[in-house]
Structure 1
Amino acid sequence: MRRLFIFSVVGLVGFLCVMFMTHKAQAATYTVLNTNDSGVGSLRQAISDTNASVGVADTINFAIPGTGPHVITPASSLPGIHDTVTIDGSTQPSASCGVLVPTIATVSNTPHTLEITIDGTNSDGIFVFDGGSASDNANNSVIKGFNLINTTSYKGAIGVLPGFGGQANNLQFNCNYIGTDISGTTAQANTTGIYLYNTTGTVVSNNLISGNQNGISAYTNTTTIQNNLIGTTSTGMSLLGNSVGMNLGLGVSAHDNIVSGNTTGVQMTDSTVLQHNLIGLNLAGTAVIANSGDGVLNKGSSSVIIGGSTAGERNVISGNGGNGINVLAEDGGGDGCSSGAVSGTNITGNYIGTNISGSTAAGFGNGQNGIVAHAQTSFGCSATINNITIGGDAAGEPNTIAGNTLDGIRIYQAGPSSQTSVFGVVILPNSIFSNGQLGINLALDTANNGVADADLGPNVINSFLMSYLATNANYYINRPTINSTSVSGNQLTVNYNYQANEVEDNLPAISAVDIVGYRLDFYLNNDTQDGAYTGYAQGKTHLGSFVVDGSETNATHTFTSPIPLIGSQNITVTSTVLWKTIPDPGTNCQDDQWGNGPPYTTTCIFEN
């Protein structure tokens, strides 16, 4: 009996183990068979079934009978997506995914052929990853092959906003038309096309996102937005704009997109990267599809990268109605005071106002400035810009800024210095030419209305002491004057004078002992007049730079020219004050943080 008892127990345990294993959930494929709001074969039922199938990667395919396209109009919001699933509208017969952006500046593309439209008129978003509980795990889900329209929720046609500890990471959203009809030619707007928050590793690619109020709003780490048409029709050749094409922050990288035809092309905040996009041009790069406002608005941000040193990182930002790039620090009102700040922005290697070859062409210039950086206050709070680098000394780092209606670069401070400050804006070598007014305009806003005065013209030569630099830079900082030049082969020798301004003794914010030196940059330009002022040319081809300690008279320097010295060439010179201490009360660098020589790109450098 004892042995039988033991045998029976062992057998029972084995039986229970077998029963447990046979009930383990297996990945399943659910097929949508009709356009009904609910019930067997409906999309709603399929999503509910995949949510109940916990811990496995299910698939939802489509096989709705009859000739498409087929329209599903949920009577209320679809269930949130709580578990890993691939929802693939491209499995519907006759549907296929094309390639919308094969490469940047390509002649043509292959639009998608979509057969499933989901109308979100009655929905609080359409496909929403809402993280209903801490046990939710929708990682690695895919949404593809849909035409998504008419939702008025901020959550978007596709929305990721997991709460309560739920997870929705490493998602893929591709092969969709969001905010247009199924042909990709007419707007059927969503309030937000795609909304991403609190997700990592997500990729948004090969979508048409047009006709919406907000195309993409993404505030999330390590998310990539690539190879999308944003603000055009499905061919990438005509306008079908969003109000804002992309609104990016908190670790988003956007590359190889066409962002054109919107009101604002791209709005950027903290820790974002924008590289190798066409902003304001068609897919082929052959014609303008203007964003009617700024191409790029960098507002209230830190650690932003726009462009890079290689052709594969260069943005072309041209043809827009406003500025090519607008770097704006602006305060906020409401309950209490909200300060605004922009710091740590690098703008390198871009074509701004030109065609895709970096040459000027009629209509490709931006309607205002190539780049503008300014701080303004509307509510009596504070706004600060600092540590902005434009261009660079290394190969590929200079921007080409040409053909813009107003200035190539405009920097100014709007409002009193007690509330706004602009410092640490470093203009390193760039190629600046054929802009309507000045190459570089350090402007004023004497009316304190957020708008720069009519430009003051080229800097006058004077003996004034420097007052607060961002306020009075244009008249109070001198440029060198050229006395004579001589040429031997490709060697160019320049004889010049330079009168270095000194600071006022009674300003606690800046001190003469903090001046490291003055960087002088020399440029060539083959036009006798380039811009609005007779006898002045903008800095097209950088000859070289060096640092002087102070004023110099009849000094000489010899450069090796990077271009043949044939015919008439004009020389343009800029002066940059190099500081060891940031000229701002209470904010100081460590001694000698400025470094040992050019390019002087730390926060302790002040551009004038």
Structure 2
Amino acid sequence: MDISGFARLASVVGLWLALCGGQGFTAHSHKLIAPSNLARERVPLSSASPTVYLRNGGRLPTAYAGSPTVLEAWHHRRVIPLSLASGDLDEDGLADLIVGYGESHGGFLAVYRAHPHLLAARGVDLSPGGDHLRSTGRDVQPFRTPARLVELPEAPQWLVTGDFDADGHLDVIAAATGDEHLYWLSGDGTGRLASPRPWTLPGTVEALAAGDINRRDGIPDLVVGIESLDGWEALIFPSSEGASHNLSETVRLPGPSVAMTIARLDDDEFGDLAVVGRDEDSGESYLVIVHGREQQRLSGEAGALASPIVIDRLSFPFTLMSMATGHFLDDGSASSQLALLADEGSVLIVSRDESRPQGWRTDILAGDIPSGMTRLVAASISGLPTDDLVLTDERHQQLHLLIGSTVAWEGGDVSRVSSFPRGRAPTFFPLAAPPVTALPMRLNADALSDLVVLTDDAPAPTIVLTQPVATFTVDSMGDGSDVNLNDGLCDDGTGHCTLRAAIEQANANPGPDLIAFALPEAGIPTIRPHRALPPITDPVTIDGTTQPAGRVELDGSAAGAAVDGLRIVAGRSVIRGLVVHHFDDDGIELASGGGNIIEGNFIGVDASGTKASGNSFTGIHVIDSANNMVGGTAPDAGNVISGNRFRGIELAGPNARNNRIQGNLIGTDATGTSVVGNLFAGVFVNGAPGNIIGGTTAGARNLISGNWDGVRVVGARATGNLIQGNLIGTAIRGHRVLGNAGDGVCIADAPGSMIGGASPRARNIIAGNNARGVFITGRRAQGNVIQGNFIGTDRTGTRTLPNATGVLINESSQNVVGGDQPEARNVISGNGDGIRIIGPGATQNLIEGNFIGTDATGRSVLGNSQDGVIIDRAPGNTIRQNVISGNNARGVFLFGREAANNLIEENLIGTDVTGTIGLSNLFHGVFINNAPRNVVHKNVISSNNLIGVLIYGPQANWNRVGENLIGIDATQSEAMGNAVGIFIAESASHNVIGAANVIAFNSGDGVFIESGTGNTVTSNSIFANAGLGINLGADRATPNDDMAGREDADAGANNLQNFPVLHEIVAENDLLRIAYSITSTPKNSHYPIKVEFFKADPSGQGQQYLGADIYTSADRMDGGIKRVSFRLGSAMRTGDWIVATATDRDGNTSEFCPPVKVQSP
């Protein structure tokens, strides 16, 4: 049978692709073998040769569902396969497939939902006609039928998925090249998509990409390459609100774009944008790299970015056709690289190298590629530490597999190279028709990429599955070694296969293997190694679920000192269905090689999952290993990692990057209802950047409870970690306490992490912990963001599950708690203190948009037992637009002389979220205790049990309180009084109350200055307070001194500044004529004196500011009485009453003078 005919078989076909190893540019020949009995025959290969075993899984079923109109259109039009995308649309933890088709009138999408038992498959049926995965005795297709159709106005040549509206559900965006619209199909979490909504662009589409650009927040951003009237541009839509809400910036491009991608291309925590295209002026190809940077506001400065945009540009003297991202060079770097497909027959790898003049290095991965390649896709097919590349070859109806890496050619300036040396030649995989595109997905139980391939001859996609090269079945609980590593048979010399012998054979056999179990034990069998098992040096799947009991126990109690349970150095391996406990070191260690999957295991507990049987060090220890998955989103993929005597999981080292910890129970039993704690941290991120703990997808949530700390992130290199969607300190339902003994989340000297996010699915429930809910500490802990979490409440946000403190920021700067949109709001309630910021180094932190002391609705009290926000000797922070109410001490408390230059702005303090219903803080709204130069601006500070704003102590100087509503609701129509509006005491001086405060309906004084001097009360509306409007000293109304007798030489609050004497007020010809005098002497009041006039309320307080005049020493000498005129406002009339205050040059303001009636002429 020839190869092309062989490829067209609908039955399962196994393809052995023996790919030679080594470096350099020697072209290798590759042998394609189709064994006659794939289930039994094994082809021996050199141990130096990476081996790939692929299987043509056939086409997907072609049954479709949809509305009658859509189905009629589908069946009567010729559709053209165009595009592929994947994502969990139905929120079952498995990725679904979305296929795009074009036709003469527009296009279609077909949504194939993943089968729920897809990754639970225990084996693979390789018999003729057995195209299905086998799970617990049933044949299972990778995807369910029928596929659901959605009609589009245009052909979807571009297709991306993501939660683009930040509603917690995955959406799809489709686009046609040359069209002026994107088409947004919002998801509802059930697998259905809404009808497409057009999204008009300022130009025509050329390329489209989605991913986390700039700060990693778990919400995909969107980038569109367009041609507009202004030229060629990349439109970047990054927003924590969802990409559909905001166009952030535009990047000019030198010509049309061909492809774009988002990846972390350098060593910082931000996602970068790469665009390839053709330079319109030179005709050469370009690569533009837009470096990601901080776009969160990390201080109170509105709209401020941490750094300007940085763009690199490289040129190439040939046409670039396609681009992919991955880790293609085995160079020790943790950052991603770019693979570029050139039309002259080369694949180039571009990687970050700051020692080069341009900051980038270019290598040749392959230099002798046949013509006709159109697309480049990154995948993990071979099991090598580096990623592989799949090239689509329409001309020859093939996929080409480019496997392995090279560092042999180092071209610094690629524009000077006219031709490339021959590099690694690809190996082909024949197809039945020309391929259009390919998409890597995980469609079986190994750790390698399977492929979904579209061909141009039929709508149904073709499935290409990776399969194990060999299967070794453990049938003995003994510990003997294999007697002959060269025979391909697992045999310990007794005719049986032990786990040790199986690992030895898998290491000796090139390519990914499977270790299965068939142990003669009725229950869960136990294997007890007597020494360390061999490290895993070649990719393997060790699958305990193949045992009839569904699990295999690995007991290390007899293995000796300093022994790990399993140690994986190869990468691309899977450990599932094991119970790993009682080892003297780590339960499982992942070192170097990445891309491993650890799923469905019990690590540190017994086989029942209820009792601690800890490993002596860490349950799972990831050491400088990247791209691993601990747990997963699929059903039953999560691990129980509990009872270990040090840590549950540790990610260690700068290359331990892009690991995902998802769906696990960490520190609890298997039910998630009882504590089986790890002795120290549940998850410890030790100098490891860019990892995800939890996530926004269905099934990603971890339960991290019962440990010392829940999550601890440490070190300056531990940047850009993402902690989302977890339950930290509660039981599995998030409704009762199962607290960590220390902190819920601790960030120690680590910058740039995100805790939560603006999507509902990003919300962590951080509650019931014995210390802090979130603790950020250390001078290097900068740029961390805490958003969208419930801290101190249950998962409904309506019941308290207290942490000792909600959020504590200690000596750390430029961190954000909350954000400027509702989705970023934290609920921080039910704790001791809500938020505490400590120390002179804790500066430029932003606390914005949170509910602090209320429930999740912002309408009911769920108070912190102490202060809402306390700033303890910390300068320059911003508290903005929060609801700070219902707390059992103060709303906001500023303490210490170092607590200077803080801004408290636009908050609701003592009210609900509407500002119209009182939710009292038990003591004061704002308490400034010996803290200078702070600003209290534009807040509603009402309904607090004691004082609205208390400024206290001899160092509480130069504070400003302006434009606030104090004692009145947000609509300025209803009384919501404090006991006293503003109280200045204990020699606090030189504070300014004004301008434009409304201070009303308080049950005591509006402004009470008990002591201190230079305190100015200016241009406010003060009325309807039960005490005085302004009160100097504790003796109620203070009369002016008798100038003839005592010369006004008083001591006391504001030097007991005399108020003005109003002699006559006449309304005449639209003017208000006032005659007044000041009785203060220059010995006690420094001239000139500012006199402010107000329309008085019935109690003689200054309700409406009318204007001011300056009274000089010359006015005093010139008879004392001065006459001024003001234009008569519409609210003034004869019979109204006028009051006035006097403020000397040192800022001492008097009480209101007695009111005087406005007379007619």
Question: What is the CA–CA distance in structure 2 between the aligned matches of 1:224 and 1:481, rounded to whole Å?
Answer: 39
Secondary structure of 1:422 counterpart:
coil
Deviation of residue 325 (structure 1)? 0.7
- Which of 474, 479, 488 is the matching residue for 1:37? 479
Deviation of residue 360 (structure 1)? 3.5
Give the alignment of 1:432-443 within 5 angstroms. 432-433=852-853, 434-443=863-872
Question: What is the CA–CA distance in structure 2 between the aligned matches of 1:426 and 1:260, rounded to whole Å?
Answer: 28
1:85/1:457 CA distance change after superposition, 3 Å: same
Which residue is 1:218 aligned to? 651
Larger C-alpha radius of gyration, 1 or 2? 2
- The 8 Å contact of residues 906 and 938 in structure 2, kept in 1 or not, is answered as no
Secondary structure of 1:396 counterpart:
helix
- Which of 744, 748, 753 is the matching residue for 1:304? 753
Deviation of residue 528 (structure 1)? 4.0
Mapped pair 1:118 → 2:560: no
Which residue is 1:314 aligned to? 763
1:41/1:565 CA distance change after superposition, 3 Å: farther
Which residue is 2:851 aligned to? 431
Q: Which runs of 5+ in 2 are unaligned?
A: 1-29, 36-42, 46-50, 54-468, 481-491, 632-637, 695-700, 854-862, 875-887, 918-925, 950-957, 983-990, 992-1161
- Which of 539, 556, 566 is the matching residue for 1:84? 539
Which residue is 2:512 aligned to? 57
Which residue is 1:605 aligned to? none
Which residue is 1:93 aligned to? 548
Could you tell me which amino acid in structure 1 is paired with residue 842 of structure 2? V
Secondary structure of 1:194 counterpart:
strand
Secondary structure of 1:48 counterpart:
helix
Question: What is the CA–CA distance in structure 2 between the aligned matches of 1:481 and 1:228, rounded to whole Å?
Answer: 40
TM-score for both structures, normalised by structure 2: 0.35
> CA-to-partner distance for each residue in 1:300-353, whole Å, 9 max, x for gaps?
101110011121001110111111111111xxxxxxxxxx52111001111110
- Which of 502, 516, 535 is the matching residue for 1:46? 502
Could you tell me which amino acid in structure 2 is paired with residue 34 of structure 1? S
- The 8 Å contact of residues 370 and 401 in structure 1, kept in 2 or not, is answered as yes
Give the alignment of 1:315-354 within 5 angstroms. 315-329=764-778, 341-354=780-793
Deviation of residue 422 (structure 1)? 2.0
Which residue is 2:709 aligned to? 264
Larger RCO, structures 1/2 (Cα 8 Å, 6+ apart): 1
- Worse-superposed segment, 115-124 or 190-199: 115-124
Could you tell me which amino acid in structure 1 is paired with residue 554 of structure 2? T
Could you tell me which amino acid in structure 1 is paired with residue 623 of structure 2? Y
Secondary structure of 1:217 counterpart:
strand
Question: What is the CA–CA distance in structure 2 between the aligned matches of 1:459 and 1:77, rounded to whole Å?
Answer: 58
Alignment: residue pair count = 443
- Which of 576, 593, 610 is the matching residue for 1:144? 576
Deviation of residue 140 (structure 1)? 2.1
- Which of 596, 599, 604 is the matching residue for 1:171? 596
1:343/1:73 CA distance change after superposition, 3 Å: same
Deviation of residue 481 (structure 1)? 13
Question: What is the CA–CA distance in structure 2 between the aligned matches of 1:71 and 1:491, rounded to whole Å?
Answer: 65
Which residue is 1:412 aligned to? 838
> CA-to-partner distance for each residue in 1:370-399, whole Å, 9 max, x for gaps?
011113xxxxxxxxx211111111121121
- The 8 Å contact of residues 659 and 692 in structure 2, kept in 1 or not, is answered as yes
Question: What is the CA–CA distance in structure 1 between the aligned matches of 2:497 and 2:905, rounded to whole Å?
Answer: 78
In terms of fraction of residues, the more strand-rich structure is 2
Could you tell me which amino acid in structure 2 is paired with residue 437 of structure 1? Q
- Which of 583, 587, 601 is the matching residue for 1:157? 587
Give the alignment of 1:440-451 within 5 angstroms. 440-444=869-873
- The 8 Å contact of residues 412 and 471 in structure 1, kept in 2 or not, is answered as no
Secondary structure of 2:554 counterpart:
strand
Give the alignment of 1:195-594 within 5 angstroms. 195-205=621-631, 206-212=638-644, 213-219=646-652, 220-243=656-679, 244-248=681-685, 249-255=688-694, 256-269=701-714, 270=718, 271-329=720-778, 341-361=780-800, 364-366=801-803, 368-375=804-811, 385-405=812-832, 407-413=833-839, 421-433=841-853, 434-444=863-873, 472-474=897-899, 520=937, 522=939, 528-529=944-945, 534-535=946-947, 551=960
1:151/1:570 CA distance change after superposition, 3 Å: farther
TM-score for both structures, normalised by structure 1: 0.65
Question: What is the CA–CA distance in structure 2 between the aligned matches of 1:148 and 1:84, rounded to whole Å?
Answer: 20
Secondary structure of 1:472 counterpart:
coil
Could you tell me which amino acid in structure 1 is paired with residue 628 of structure 2? T
CA RMSD after TM alignment: 4.2
Deviation of residue 410 (structure 1)? 0.7
Could you tell me which amino acid in structure 1 is paired with residue 664 of structure 2? N
1:475/1:353 CA distance change after superposition, 3 Å: same
1:499/1:237 CA distance change after superposition, 3 Å: closer
Question: What is the CA–CA distance in structure 2 between the aligned matches of 1:274 and 1:91, rounded to whole Å?
Answer: 33
Deviation of residue 221 (structure 1)? 1.1
Question: What is the CA–CA distance in structure 1 between the aligned matches of 2:605 and 2:723, rounded to whole Å?
Answer: 25
Question: Percent identity of the aligned residues?
Answer: 29
1:29/1:431 CA distance change after superposition, 3 Å: same
Deviation of residue 192 (structure 1)? 0.6
- The 8 Å contact of residues 352 and 402 in structure 1, kept in 2 or not, is answered as yes
Question: What is the CA–CA distance in structure 2 between the aligned matches of 1:348 and 1:60, rounded to whole Å?
Answer: 43
- The 8 Å contact of residues 939 and 965 in structure 2, kept in 1 or not, is answered as no
Question: What is the CA–CA distance in structure 2 between the aligned matches of 1:460 and 1:222, rounded to whole Å?
Answer: 40
- The 8 Å contact of residues 753 and 785 in structure 2, kept in 1 or not, is answered as yes
1:393/1:570 CA distance change after superposition, 3 Å: farther
- The 8 Å contact of residues 442 and 473 in structure 1, kept in 2 or not, is answered as no
- Which of 70, 85, 97 is the matching residue for 2:525? 70
1:480/1:301 CA distance change after superposition, 3 Å: closer
Deviation of residue 197 (structure 1)? 2.1
